[in-house]
Amino acid sequence: MKAVERLDLLEPVLEREAALLGDVAFRLFPPDDLSATWLVALLSTPEGCDKLESFVGKFCRMQDNLAGKYLPLLLEASEEPVGTAIDNLARAERLGWLEDAARWRRMRRARNWLVHEYLSDPADMLSALSEARAFVAHLIGAWQHMRDYATTLRENHV
């Protein structure tokens, strides 16, 4: 199966993941700054814990599918070299598909902290959630840039 055909299979998944991530982030996070009071209240109810778990899962899946699966396929379909994850992110930055490859490394670190629950200290958890909240727009924006490029790529090769 060609890289473009595999992109076609992943795009609906990523489109759904972007919508769900944006929705859960909107429902989870308050419109103002995150606070220790907010985190304590969130973790004090089963519904709050479920929202947090939902956000973390969607945040992780979107990163994994976009950077780990879609980006290498898009590079391959574009006849660009495919390398390590760091190399692929740097190339995507140079191609204008994402704003800052270094931000993605920080996003990955926040993802790992949240998913592996290294955050027993509420202040650390609040910091990681603040970072993750800020990364949502960058993650969805990168998806949109990559998707738009893939659409242009298909149109030019048909």
Q: What is the CATH number of the domain that holds 51?
A: 1.20.120
For 61, other C-beta atoms within 10 Å of its C-beta total 16
In total, how many domains does the chain have?
1
**What does the alpha-carbon distance between residue 128 and residue 137 come to, in Å, rounded to a whole number?**
15
User: pLDDT tens for residues 55-88?
Assistant: 999 999 999 999 999 999 999 999 999 999 999 9
Structural domain boundaries enclosing 36: 3-156
**Digit-coded pLDDT (tens) for 34-59:** 999 999 999 999 999 999 999 999 99
The pLDDT value recorded for residue 44 is 92
More confident residue, 126 or 17: 17
Give the residue among 131, 75, 83 at the shortest CA–CA distance from 108: 131
The answer on pLDDT for 117 being more than 70 is no
pLDDT of residue 42: 92
User: Once rounded to an integer, what is the mean pLDDT over residues 82-98?
Assistant: 93
Q: What is the mean pLDDT of the chain?
A: 90
Residue 119's pLDDT is what?
59
Angle CA(11)–CA(65)–CA(105) in degrees, nearest 5? 130
User: Is 117 buried (19+), middle (13-18) or exposed (0-12) by CB count in 10 A?
Assistant: exposed
